[in-house]
């Protein structure tokens, strides 16, 4: 089963999306967008940039947990991962995004 992008409305009324792996787990969460079209463009940006390792920025939280951010070609952060228990788990998360994002289907839960 391939991954999927789930587009939804956030609590503040803006739009955001998650990339969900074939096992049903969220592996990537976007920034919020003021309008639906921008969120859809964000999904396309993830599809385009996810195969490129140099677009992933490996980070460590203030609590010492590894996570990653995916950036577009212009350096803007598209979204972030969850916090991971280890660097190797984070690297597995990056691999999962690389594998799932390009062909992930879109599930649009927004009402428009």
List pLDDT tens digits, range 79-89: 999 999 999 99
Using a pLDDT cut of 90, give the percent of the chain over it.
89
Residue 40: predicted pLDDT: 96
Mean pLDDT of 4-13: 93
Domain ranges of the chain: 4-108
58-70: pLDDT as tens digits: 999 999 999 999 9
pTM (2 decimals)?
Answer: 0.91
Would you place residue 9 in the very low, low, confident or very high pLDDT band (cuts 50, 70, 90)?
very high
Q: Identify which of 14, 81, 89, 11 has the alpha carbon closest to the alpha carbon of residue 46.
A: 81
CATH for 4-108 is 2.30.29.80
Task: Check residue 1 and give its pLDDT.
Answer: 55
User: 17 in the Ramachandran plot: left (φ > 0), alpha (ψ -120 to 50) or beta?
Assistant: beta
Q: Give CA separation, 14 vs 26, 36, 48, 81, in Å.
A: 19, 8, 23, 19
């Amino acid at each position: 089963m391939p991954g999927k992008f789930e587009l939804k409305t956030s609590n503040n009324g803006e739009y955001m999306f998650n990339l969900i792996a074939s096992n049903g787990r969220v592996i990537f969460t976007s920034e919020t967008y003021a309008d639906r079209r921008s969120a859809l463009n964000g999904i396309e940006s993830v599809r385009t940039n996810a195969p490129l390792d140099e677009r992933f920025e490996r980070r460590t939280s203030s609590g010492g947990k590894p996570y990653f951010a995916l950036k577009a070609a212009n350096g803007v952060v598209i979204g972030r991962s969850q916090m991971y228990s280890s660097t190797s788990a984070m690297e597995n998360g990056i691999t999962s995004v690389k594998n799932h994002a390009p062909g992930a289907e879109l599930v649009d839960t927004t009402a428009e």
